[in-house]
């Protein structure tokens, strides 16, 4: 098992907040993100080493894959959870539009 994936599983196991469906979706989305980063050449990455450049790389790859705005927004929400859990809430910008994903809520 890759280090990032292992770290993510440990973080997920330690946090019992949210419904089973939310936790399952979070586990799936973060595992996909770890695999995507590995495929993009980010090897040996640990959860605590997760940075804004990794978020940017993920969003660029998701856009290249043609994922819908809603899917990218959901994945960004899971990355925000990860950022909070590792004590780096600022690495994922709060505004999805700053990543070129949809428009801000309520506009």
Domain ranges across the chain:
3-96
Q: How far apart are alpha carbons 92 and 41 in whole angstroms? A: 20
For residue 54 the two structure tokens come to 């990794």
In 3D, which of 58, 50, 72, 61 has the Cα closest to residue 4? 50
Q: How far apart are the first and last CA of the chain?
A: 43
Instruction: For 37-64, write each residue's pLDDT tens digit.
Output: 999 999 999 999 999 999 999 999 999 9
- The SS3 of residue 101 is coil
Give the model's pLDDT for residue 104: 54
Low-confidence ranges of the chain (pLDDT < 50): 106-107
Is the distance from CB of 74 to CB of 102 less than 8 angstroms? Answer: no
Give the model's pLDDT for residue 102: 81
In 3D, which of 40, 37, 102 has the Cα closest to residue 71? 102
Give the model's pLDDT for residue 103: 66
Give the model's pLDDT for residue 107: 46
Q: How far apart are alpha carbons 88 and 43 in whole angstroms? A: 20
Give the model's pLDDT for residue 105: 55
């Amino acid at each position: 098992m890759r280090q990032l994936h292992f770290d993510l599983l440990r973080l997920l196991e330690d946090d019992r907040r949210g419904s089973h469906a939310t936790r399952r979706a979070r586990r799936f989305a973060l595992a996909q993100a770890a695999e995507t980063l590995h495929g993009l050449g980010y090897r040996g990455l640990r959860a605590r080493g997760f940075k804004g450049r990794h978020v940017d790389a993920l969003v660029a790859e998701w856009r290249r894959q043609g994922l819908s705005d809603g899917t990218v927004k959901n994945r960004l929400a899971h990355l925000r959870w990860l950022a909070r859990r590792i004590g780096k809430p600022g690495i994922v910008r709060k505004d999805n539009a700053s990543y070129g994903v949809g428009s801000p809520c309520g506009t």
